[in-house]
Amino acid sequence: MGRKRGRDHVFVETDGQVYLVRDRGTLRFPRADEKLPFPTESAGVMDFGADRVLRYKPRLDHHPEEWWGRDAIFERSDVDPLVKRAIYTTMIRCVSEVILSKGLRVLMVKSVRGFSKGYWNVPGGFMDYGESPEVGVEREAEEEIGVDIVLDGLLNVYVSGFPGKPAYTLGFVYKGHLVSEAFRLKPDEIEDAAWFTVDKALTLTRNPFAKWALVDFFLQSDEARAALKVKRHSSDPHATGPDQPTVFLDRDGVINRGRAGYVRTPDQFRFLPGAIDGMRLLQDHGWQLVIVTNQDAAGWKLLTEAQLAKVHDRMLAMLHKEGVRVAEVYYCPHNVLSDCACRKPRPGMLLAAARDLGVRPRGAWMVGDKPLDVQTGRAFGCRTAWVGPKAWRKRFAAEVRPWSPDVVADSLLDGARAIVRYGEDPVVDAARKSRTDPTITS
């Protein structure tokens, strides 16, 4: 039985002023079937169970001072609760966190409550009213681990939305170090504290700010960048700039057919139907292509790295003939028992692309046919597409569910079409345009 649907309500706002109508002594949103006295354009949908709130931006030639200021609405007792709930949902939240480092390792804390319950996170949390980000992160971190910290500077500021809701959180993330490691963990909030390399830390947290900050920390650390050893097959290098939109592609099962006993010779390499067209479609829409592949056959010594290079040479030559360029091929030559940074679901190959090609998580997608591919993309902090025949996806549906792929498709070509429709992260896209388009200001 479907969910009973209530009315659709219209939330119109501009410059902090909200358009409301008075109905028998109550200020409420207009209904969707009520005519508005001005033209509008759609700005999203908010789902509140039985009721939907449709957000609209008005097209006006004046500032509507006669409307209701969003801050004043909370002080009134004659406002419909749905109005207050919708406005509260759209208010930006502020958190302040810190990457505390010791050589190649960063400190992570395991939470026992809240959004990160059962997961690891970097120290920090929500800022109190009136706090600066620096004061907030020092207070939060010291409350959590029970020792003093020293901030070494701002790492970056991030904005993240919530799926299905026009709500955002602003995150300030700092770099810092500890005065002491005599931790006194806050018992009702933190279960454990431990040091991890960046590639491992990325697999442990579900916090997007922590993921993006860990990547930025890695990129700013000469020591961490130099320590990451990832094999690559230099392909068809072409001019790339920082932050270029990138699609990471798994190889076997996405680009080419897998086979029993692995693809071990060039003549065993066969493109899947539509794979080249999908890669070309992404390239034509401005996406840089990077291949990231676990090569178990090399790990089990079923083929040498020299033989693997010949397979990749054939693949790249065929793609070049079709006008498709690959910025780089990264591969993991280690077996499944290895504790290396590069074997998916560790994101070492994606970190290498961030270091070598200027790839950033918010401007990237990971496309793969296995749950571990989706897990790898999530670890890096980018969006993900899970592709493969329906029977294959049904077999692994339960395994992939915790990683919630953004796109599910039957093939690379179908996945590419969805990525092109999806586009880039809107925040990243706006930031990029603001650097190149003088008509866009922040």
Domains and CATH numbers, the chain: 8-89 (3.90.79.10), 93-225 (3.90.79.10), 229-434 (3.40.50.1000)
Q: Which residues are annotated as catalytic?
A: 250, 252
Q: What SS3 state is found at 324?
A: coil
β-partners of residue 110 are: 120, 192
Yes or no: say if 374 and 383 are a contact pair by the CB < 8 Å rule. no
pTM greater than 0.85: no
User: Quick count: other Cβ atoms within 10 Å of Cβ 232?
Assistant: 18
**What's the CA gap between 220 and 208, in Å, rounded?**
18
DSSP state of 79: B
Q: What CA–CA distance (Å, rounded) separates 307 from 374?
A: 28
Q: Any idea which residue has 């949390």 for tokens?
A: 125
The count of C-alpha atoms lying within 13 angstroms of the C-alpha of 257, restricted to the half-sphere facing its C-beta, is 10
Classify strands 105-111 and 407-409 as parallel, antiparallel or unpaired: unpaired
pLDDT string in tens for the chain (442-residue length): 444 557 899 999 999 999 999 999 999 999 999 999 999 998 888 888 788 999 999 999 888 989 999 889 999 999 999 999 999 888 888 999 999 999 999 999 999 987 788 899 999 999 998 899 999 999 999 999 999 999 999 999 999 876 555 568 899 999 999 999 999 999 999 999 999 999 999 999 999 999 999 999 999 999 999 999 999 997 555 545 667 899 999 999 999 988 877 888 999 999 999 999 999 999 999 999 999 999 988 888 888 999 999 999 999 999 999 999 999 999 999 988 889 999 999 999 999 999 999 999 999 999 999 999 999 999 999 999 999 999 999 999 999 999 999 999 999 999 999 999 987 654 444 444 433 333 222 2
Residue 243 Cα distances to 6, 262, 286, 321, 357, angstroms: 43, 34, 12, 27, 9
